[in-house]
Structure 1
Amino acid sequence: MIPKFEGLIAAPFTPMNEKGEVVYERIPAYYNFLKQNKVVGAFINGSTGEGVSLTQKERMKSAEQWVAAARENPGMKIINLVGGTSYAACIENAQHSARTGMDAIALLAPYYFKPSGAGQLAEFVARVAETVPQMPVYFYHIPVLTGCYVSMYDFLKEAAPAIPNLAGIKYTHEDFMDFQSCINFRNGKYDMLWGRDENLLSALVLGTRSGVGSTYNYAAPLYYKLIEAFDNGDLVLARKLQQKAIDMIRLLGKYGGIATGKAYMRYVGIDCGEFRSPVKNMSHDDYRKFTEDVKTLAMEEEFSKYISS
């Protein structure tokens, strides 16, 4: 059995400068910031990290920096999303991850030529996983972006006998029936990481003990309070805290979407720059309005704290 995660895994943003270049030197401070806020892992080069907008070299160099930061200050595990469209490129990234000392890798479904069913999807993942047999491999299920709506329960039935190093799934979808079936597949063998921050409480009810999310970058204390309330049986408080998270997440949509996450990071003291094109970034005037809206959330105690080291 591959050890399962317990706690919050952040999906870090990739720090950029004003020219849209990756600023690798900011990664160690970013790592320490997450660790200070009790985050147990980092899922790098994912959607939040703009992995699909980075070059192979950029993804590899970023991975090296995150692993180096973990060696310098142990305590967080690093999962690297190695890609999804070309299995040859995924293999290149996966083997680099193994040489670098990454804790695990993750794979997306091919999102241009899409697999027609669970068998094809499992075959694609297996082609990459078999090249790094000692490394835990996660599948990243996010059909709203990949367009691959294969049932993950069906995927596990195909993948279980074919991929011995399959660790689990990062599940970013709203099919709770499918998710629960995956949790209970083969007596709970696989690590099911919930990927929708706005309904983490619902996933806790079904049995998950870990989630991967962008808002855990800057609001980890809020979610740990939620988890504590749930564990203590205080569902009234847990629902109240989940609503706080939803109110916070609504501002993402109000100010343009995923790039607003970097504005939240700036608000808590970590400058990650802006997103690469074609993602829309907010204007200076919108950032001023955004900060005023954030203050109305009355969440200062629930935001992650930046402690300069």
Structure 2
Amino acid sequence: MKHLQGLIAAPFTPMDRLGAVNTTLIPEYYRLLKTNGVKGAFICGSTGEGVSLTLAEKKAVTAAWAACTKGDDDFKVMLLAGGTCLADCRELAKYAYEEGLYAISFTAPFYFKPASVAALADCCAEVAAAAPQMPFYYYHIPVLNGVHFPMYDLLKAVDGRIPNFAGVKYTHEDFMDFLSCMNFREGRYDMLWGRDENMLSALAIGAKGAVGSTFNYAAPLYHRLIEAFNNGDLERAAQLQQQSIDMIRLLGKYGGIATGKAYLKLIGLDCGAFRLPVSNMTNVQFESFRADVAALGFDQFKSRPAARTHT
């Protein structure tokens, strides 16, 4: 399996003013990511509100990303097929293959949780088998799905059993487990880092690819961080990581994950609001947020908007 490198964004799902999915914005979104050197998109994940979308809506988002990225082999689109209903996950995996996406992903069921690593491996096997021609990634995010098994144990359980198991999108802070996964079977599996605020630490132990929400609107910051690290300028890399942390702290200050859409709005792409149960900031809060963002020097490292196309 190919090991992906560079920044892979976790896009927000665009919504219109009535809260309906607005796929017409997705081509512009793709151009924004390409303009800023992003190498792929992890769609319908946490940032993309996949758990709040219907099966039909996830298919519509999949089709829109597939259509605008068709022929761009350098830009990898992977779909989070879900986690709770395995039948829906299998259907989405097949659909992703039919539409020509690069890969599928799956996270643990989070209502009836798997009681063991073996049970989680069984779930992975079912979904992966629905699209055996595609790379399959497990999405490890215990802070949201409540499933805390070490990924090293999962790799041991799936190794040799799931031919298209490509690796793990690792959104957790267990560097011991992450490094063990990177070294498993002499680096057989692709380990994609998923904590933007800890990227420097992941680079230090060998991470090459990362999936993150803040790459949507601050990709230049992370390109500079990676460049400083690769050049051995650890002091500069640490300063850039602190800028990332300061930016991410505002997510918490203004209510959490929905704040990311406010950042995106500041660079010119308005993807609407998050659906309930996620709360969105008020107009008054947005003005306060805008001031806080300006104080960070956001204009110095924000993503550049894509050139408008004319038809």
What is the TM-score normalised by the length of structure 1? 0.98
The residue aligned with 1:257 is 256
- Write the mapping of 1:86-97 to structure 2, written as runs, cut at 5 A: 86-97=85-96
Q: Deviations over 1:190-242 (max 9, x none)?
A: 11000000000000011110110000000000001000000000000000000
Q: Following TM superposition, by how much is the alpha carbon of 1:301 offset from its aligned partner in structure 2, in angstroms?
A: 2.1
State the AA in 2 paired with 1:86: C
The residue aligned with 2:177 is 178
The residue aligned with 1:146 is 145
The residue aligned with 1:35 is 34
The residue aligned with 1:280 is 279
CA contact (8 A) 2:128 2:162 kept: yes
1:195 aligns with 2:194: yes
CA contact (8 A) 2:91 2:130 kept: no
CA contact (8 A) 2:191 2:207 kept: yes
1:214 aligns with 2:185: no
Distance, in Å, in 1 between the alignment partners of 2:116 and 2:71 is 43
- Give the unaligned 5+ runs of structure 1: none
How has the CA–CA distance of structure 1 residues 72 and 162 changed in structure 2, closer, same or farther, with 3 Å as cutoff? closer
Q: Deviations over 1:105-156 (max 9, x none)?
A: 0001010111112111011100111121111000000001001001100000
After superposition, the CA RMSD in angstroms is: 0.9
Distance, in Å, in 1 between the alignment partners of 2:131 and 2:25 is 29
Distance, in Å, in 2 between the alignment partners of 1:180 and 1:74 is 29
Q: Following TM superposition, by how much is the alpha carbon of 1:87 offset from its aligned partner in structure 2, in angstroms?
A: 1.2
Distance, in Å, in 2 between the alignment partners of 1:89 and 1:168 is 22
The residue aligned with 2:116 is 117
How has the CA–CA distance of structure 1 residues 163 and 72 changed in structure 2, closer, same or farther, with 3 Å as cutoff? closer
Q: Deviations over 1:260-298 (max 9, x none)?
A: 000000001111000001100000011001000000001
State the AA in 2 paired with 1:137: F
Structure 1 residue ranges, 4+ long, deviating more than 3 angstroms after superposition: 72-75
Distance, in Å, in 1 between the alignment partners of 2:59 and 2:158 is 27
Q: Following TM superposition, by how much is the alpha carbon of 1:73 offset from its aligned partner in structure 2, in angstroms?
A: 5.5
Distance, in Å, in 1 between the alignment partners of 2:213 and 2:143 is 16
Aligned identity (percent) is 56
What is the TM-score normalised by the length of structure 2? 0.98
Corresponding residue pairs, total: 308
Q: Secondary structure at the match of 1:281?
A: coil
The residue aligned with 2:2 is 3
- Give the unaligned 5+ runs of structure 2: none
State the AA in 2 paired with 1:134: Q
Distance, in Å, in 1 between the alignment partners of 2:71 and 2:290 is 34
CA contact (8 A) 2:28 2:306 kept: no
